[in-house]
C-alpha cells in the first residue's frame, strides 16, 4: 500500500482544531520480546516502529491530534514493563524525540514465553494515567500465540470494558497463523483490527500501515 502524506487542506483544518483541544488519542505501543524473537528480529521491530513514527503523514497526525504515546515491552506472565512512559506529542520535535527513543531502547528480556493476556492486563490500567485523552488504543504486535499466563480473550474483553480499543499486528511465521489467533482472541473494541506482516521483512510496511489506520484515518 502506498501511503500518501495528508493533504494540505486536511492538515490545515486539523491544525486549526489541534492540540489546544487536548489529547484526542492515547496510544500504547506494545512490543513482543519473547523467546521466539532473536536479536535481529527485535531490531527489525524497533527500527520499523521508529521509521513508521517518522513517516510524515503519521508524525503530523500525532502532534496535530495532541496524541500521548507510551511504549511497553512484554513477554511471559511476569514480564511486562513500560520502557518509554507517556509522552505528549505537542509538535514535530516531540515525535522525532519519541522515534529516537524507540530506536535506542534496549531489550528488556530474552528467552521468555508469550503471555498476551497478562500483557493486556498490565496495559489496560495504564490509561488511567492519561484520563484527558478521548480515545484509548493498545497497538500490540507479536509473532506467537499465548503459551503462558492469563486467558487472552478474557483480558481483551476486560480492556474493552475500560473503553480501550485493542488492535493487533500479527507477524506470521511458517506453519503458524498468528493473525488468526489475533483476530479471534486479541482484537477488541469498536473499529478494532488486525494488521498482518508476512515475516519480519514485512514488519516495517505493516507497522506503518497500522499506525496510519490508527492515527491518520480517524483524524481525517
* Mean pLDDT in order along the chain per 10 residues (220 residues): 46 45 91 94 95 96 94 97 97 97 96 96 98 96 94 98 98 85 97 94 94 80
For residue 186, with 0-12 CB atoms within 10 Å meaning exposed, 13-18 middle and 19 or more buried, which class applies?
A: buried
Structure pTM? Answer: 0.89
Domain architecture of the chain: domains with CATH: 20-219 (3.40.50.410)
- d(CA 64, CA 46) in angstroms, rounded, equals 24
CA-CA-CA-CA torsion for 96, 101, 103, 106, nearest 10 degrees? 180
Helix/strand/coil for 71: strand
Residue positions counted in the chain? 220
How deeply is 169 buried, as exposed, middle or buried, from its count of CB atoms within 10 A (0-12, 13-18, 19+)?
Answer: buried
Amino acid at each position: 500500500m502506498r501511503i500518501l502524506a495528508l493533504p494540505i487542506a486536511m492538515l490545515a483544518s486539523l491544525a486549526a482544531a489541534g492540540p489546544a483541544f487536548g489529547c484526542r488519542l492515547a496510544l500504547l505501543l506494545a512490543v513482543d520480546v519473547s523467546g521466539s524473537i532473536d536479536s535481529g528480529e527485535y531490531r527489525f521491530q524497533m527500527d520499523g516502529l521508529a521509521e513508521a513514527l517518522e513517516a510524515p503523514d503519521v508524525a503530523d497526525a500525532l502532534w496535530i491530534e495532541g496524541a500521548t504515546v507510551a511504549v511497553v515491552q512484554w513477554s511471559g506472565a511476569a514480564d511486562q514493563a513500560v520502557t518509554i512512559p507517556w509522552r505528549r506529542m505537542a509538535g514535530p520535535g516531540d515525535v522525532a524525540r519519541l522515534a529516537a527513543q524507540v530506536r535506542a531502547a534496549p531489550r528488556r528480556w530474552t528467552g521468555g514465553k508469550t503471555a498476551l493476556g497478562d500483557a493486556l492486563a498490565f496495559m489496560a490500567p495504564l490509561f488511567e494515567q492519561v484520563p484527558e485523552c478521548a480515545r484509548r488504543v493498545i497497538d500490540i504486535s507479536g509473532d506467537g500465540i499465548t503459551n503462558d499466563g492469563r486467558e487472552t480473550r478474557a483480558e481483551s474483553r476486560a480492556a474493552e470494558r475500560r473503553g480501550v480499543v485493542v488492535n493487533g499486528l500479527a507477524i506470521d511465521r511458517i506453519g503458524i497463523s498468528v493473525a488468526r489467533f489475533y483476530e479471534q482472541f486479541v482484537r477488541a473494541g469498536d473499529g478494532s483490527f488486525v494488521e498482518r506482516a508476512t515475516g519480519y521483512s514485512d514488519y516495517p510496511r505493516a507497522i506503518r500501515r497500522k499506525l496510519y489506520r490508527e492515527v491518520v484515518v480517524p483524524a481525517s
